[in-house]
């Protein structure tokens, strides 16, 4: 198996950077199409969070003029009355540099009573108000006097005029109306329209895992909004270093006395790996908030496998929920009786979360398309170069 080190690493990186700069962009491909299939468990039929029965996802991409590049992504846990048939939920914070609406009640009660929205940093309050209006407008909620919308965000300000915030309420309503099961659009769509990962275009990614019947047969699905940095690695291959674009690059090269690379970042925050990642987990396993929070912690392990170290300026949040009818909750219940999995049954779910998160993040990168604004243009990861690097390590597309 080919190894890269020292001067050969530098030559490979320079050569691939030249190829990437001169060649047309390869077509979008999901991770599995180039041999990236993390872990041991098989994906569901769509390899998406929607493989968890009842879960729907909707996007609305907002493009206005030469400066607004943002959007909304909606995750709906089930098709029933979300306010009265609540799903248990939990939050895990990898690094808390961010703004997550509705978090205190989610943690206090361990449940969701609305869909989950993802959007841009300064859009969360408008998105939250629109989600509250959406829920309160339902006839069955005519007497509801309080609602707790949950909205996550990442800062897409490198490409998006994030202070403008036009049309967000309308985008929320369209994303909710568009939500569907089945295949999920990925890349530069919805809340991933203006995001950046490792200096390349980021976006939305999703993946799932189906446990064998002997382990319960449960499904775990993950969707991510990738907008973070670090030192990109894919299946252990140091892709970011080999392509000459990684966090702390200027300082590392200066210390080594080597000429500066061509793949640097545009600002000090990006140079240090700053950015954020929202991760949403769904499962049909009967799991309550305590063990859902433990599942959320394992998603951060999948995030780390891609090369993130959760920098100071990175907001890394995980929301996990269970759709199982065996653990649903009514707001009027005075006695809760649940048939939940025990701790000893959780390990396979932890493994599934870690695998699906890693793959979803690869998909966010590989499915992204170029986005341009008056602030500049961010191109996707050069897929052909990545394919060459993976093949050199024996990682190939399935025949």
Catalytic residues: 276, 314, 316
CA atoms of 278 and 5, how far apart (whole Å):
34
Structure tokens that stand for 352 in this block: 């599934």
CA atoms of 85 and 177, how far apart (whole Å):
20
Number of H helices, E strands in the chain: 10, 14
309 in helix, strand or coil?
coil
CA atoms of 30 and 356, how far apart (whole Å):
13
132 in helix, strand or coil?
helix
Query: Diameter of the chain by CA atoms?
Result: 69
CA 127, chain centre distance (Å): 18
CA atoms of 71 and 174, how far apart (whole Å):
11
82 in helix, strand or coil?
coil
* Main-chain dihedrals φ then ψ at residue 216, nearest 5 degrees: 110, -20
2 in helix, strand or coil?
coil
SS (HEC) of 151-205: EEEECCCCCCCCCCCCCHHHHHHHHHHHCECCCCCCECCHHHCCCEECCEECEEE
Total residues belonging to the chain: 399
> Please, are residues 91 and 130 in contact by the beta-carbon 8 Å criterion?
no
> Please, are residues 193 and 203 in contact by the beta-carbon 8 Å criterion?
yes
Encode burial over 323-348: b for 16+ CB neighbours within 10 A, e otherwise.
Answer: bbeebbbeeeeeeeeeebbeeebbeb
Which of 117, 141, 136 shows the shortest CA–CA distance to 127? 117
Could you count the other beta carbons within 10 Å of the beta carbon of residue 283? 28
> Please, are residues 166 and 62 in contact by the beta-carbon 8 Å criterion?
yes
């Amino acid at each position: 198996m080919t190894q890269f080190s020292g001067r050969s690493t530098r030559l490979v990186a320079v050569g691939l950077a030249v190829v990437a700069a001169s060649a047309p962009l390869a077509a979008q491909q999901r991770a599995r199409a180039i041999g990236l299939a993390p872990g041991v468990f098989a994906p569901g039929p769509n390899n998406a969070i929607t493989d968890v029965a009842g879960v729907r996802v909707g996007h609305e991409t907002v493009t206005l003029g030469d400066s607004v590049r943002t959007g909304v992504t909606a995750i709906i846990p089930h098709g029933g009355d979300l306010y009265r048939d609540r799903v248990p939920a939990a939050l895990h914070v990898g690094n808390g540099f961010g703004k997550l609406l509705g978090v205190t009640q989610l943690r206090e009660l361990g449940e969701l009573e609305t869909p989950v929205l993802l959007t841009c940093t300064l859009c969360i309050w408008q998105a939250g108000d629109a989600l509250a209006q959406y829920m309160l407008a339902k006839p069955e909620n005519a007497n509801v006097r309080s609602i707790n919308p949950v909205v996550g965000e990442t800062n897409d300000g490198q490409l998006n005029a994030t202070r403008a915030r036009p049309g967000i309420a309308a985008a929320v309503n369209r994303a909710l109306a568009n939500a569907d099961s089945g295949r999920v659009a990925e890349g530069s769509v919805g809340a991933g329209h203006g995001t950046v990962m490792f200096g390349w275009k980021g976006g939305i990614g999703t993946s799932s895992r189906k446990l064998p019947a002997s382990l319960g047969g449960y499904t775990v699905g993950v969707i991510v909004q990738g907008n973070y940095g670090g030192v990109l690695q894919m299946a252990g291959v140091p892709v970011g270093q080999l392509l000459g674009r990684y966090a702390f690059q200027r300082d590392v090269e200066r210390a080594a006395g080597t000429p500066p690379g061509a793949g640097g970042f545009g600002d000090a925050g990006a140079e240090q790996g700053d950015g954020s990642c929202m991760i949403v987990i769904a499962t049909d396993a009967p799991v309550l908030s305590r063990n859902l929070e433990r599942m959320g912690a394992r998603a951060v392990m999948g995030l780390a496998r891609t090369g993130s170290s959760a920098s100071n300026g990175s907001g890394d949040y995980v929301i996990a929920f269970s759709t199982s009818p065996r653990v649903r909750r009514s707001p009027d219940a005075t006695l809760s009786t649940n048939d939940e999995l025990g701790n000893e049954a959780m390990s396979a779910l932890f493994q599934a979360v870690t695998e699906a998160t890693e793959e979803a993040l690869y998909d966010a990168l590989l499915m992204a398309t170029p986005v341009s604004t008056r602030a500049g243009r961010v191109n996707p990861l050069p897929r052909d170069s990545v394919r060459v690097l993976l093949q050199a390590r024996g990682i190939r597309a399935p025949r």
